[in-house]
Amino acid sequence: MPRAIMWSTLVNGLLGFIMAITMMFTLGDLDEIVQTSTGYPFIQVFYNTTNSHVGTTLMTVIIILPLIGSVVACVATASRQIWSFARDQGVPWSGVIEYVPPTWSIPINAIMVSLGICTLLALINIGSATALNAVLALGTGSILASYLICISCVALKRLRGEVLPPRQWSLGKWGLPINIAAICWLLPIFVFIQFPSVTPTPAASMNFSSLLIGSVVIFATVYYVVFGRKVYISPRQRVHRI
């Protein structure tokens, strides 16, 4: 799995770089693209390049199909993560979310919770694009924060000389330098994505990422202190019990 991730990152990064260079040389009028009536600048780029509605539609479909697969994969991944936390009593209403019907053998409740939340988030755009952008910014900041926490924990164990858990694949002697480089790369990005994109900053273009991330951290901390620490079973404790 780690090798598949590394090779796919390398291949997709190279192809993405080629695509970015190609788009830069075929953009055309930038103002026209930004103000396109389609609402999606990339569709206007396709039309400017092909001068064909059919060609533009086909190229857009090629973009949409992987996105559909990506959404399905994201919902499935999120549902498994929610179920794992519910199994360890780490989220509210864990007893309901962790239930797996014997005849289905899949965490249907966790899947429905994940799907329901995604659907509700998509509906935010109907009322306010600003609110949707705030939620999307929360997702980006949260992902970067999760990377920072995981990598920092591994780097700290390496600095202390502690033995890492058994694994089939390792970075070897390059592990610590790569961990430190990753932290130095991610930390400034995590800080700067909290800033608004323009100044002066009206409410419509305000970056609410820091507010939402702080709210989630405060809620999670209060929940853990008041209730979660009494019932939460970490994966390490569960393995030791087994």
**The predicted structure's pLDDT at residue 212:** 82
Under the banding of pLDDT at 50, 70 and 90, the label for residue 241 is: low
- Is the same domain home to 132 and 212? yes
User: For the segment 42-63, what is each residue's pLDDT rounded down to a tens digit?
Assistant: 888 888 888 888 988 998 999 8
Is pLDDT above 90 for 179?
A: yes
- Is the same domain home to 133 and 208? yes
242 domain-assigned: no
Full domain range(s) for residue 87? 42-127
Phi, psi dihedrals of residue 98, rounded to the nearest 5°? -80, -10
Domains held by the chain: number: 2
Is pLDDT above 80 for 206?
A: no
Return left, alpha or beta for 89; rule: phi > 0 is left, psi -120 to 50 is alpha, else beta. left
Average pLDDT on 156-180 reads 85
**The predicted structure's pLDDT at residue 188:** 92
- Is the same domain home to 135 and 110? no
- Give the count of alpha carbons within 13 A of 227, CB side only: 9
Is pLDDT above 80 for 137?
A: no
Is pLDDT above 90 for 26?
A: no
49 domain-assigned: yes
12 domain-assigned: no
Distance between CA atoms of residues 92 and 223, nearest Å: 9
User: For the segment 69-95, what is each residue's pLDDT rounded down to a tens digit?
Assistant: 888 888 888 888 888 888 888 788 888
**Range with the poorest average pLDDT among 1-5, 205-209, 217-221:** 205-209
- Is the same domain home to 102 and 156? no
221 domain-assigned: no
Q: Which residue has the higher pLDDT, 31 or 189?
A: 189
Average pLDDT on 182-195 reads 89
28 domain-assigned: no
Nearest CA to 94 out of 81, 104, 105, 85 is that of 85
Length of the chain: 242
Q: Which of 29-43, 95-109, 204-218 has the highest mean pLDDT?
A: 95-109
Is pLDDT above 60 for 242?
A: no
Stated pTM of the model = 0.65
User: CA quadruple 209, 211, 214, 220: dihedral positive or negative?
Assistant: negative
User: CA quadruple 135, 140, 146, 148: dihedral positive or negative?
Assistant: negative
Residue where a domain stops, chosen among 108, 127, 146 = 127
- Is the same domain home to 117 and 147? no
Rounded (to 5) percent helix, strand, coil in the chain: 75, 0, 25
Q: Which residue has the higher pLDDT, 199 or 223?
A: 223
Average pLDDT on 8-14 reads 91
Q: Which residue has the higher pLDDT, 41 or 186?
A: 186
Distance between CA atoms of residues 208 and 196, nearest Å: 8
Q: Average pLDDT, whole number, for the chain?
A: 83
**The predicted structure's pLDDT at residue 58:** 92
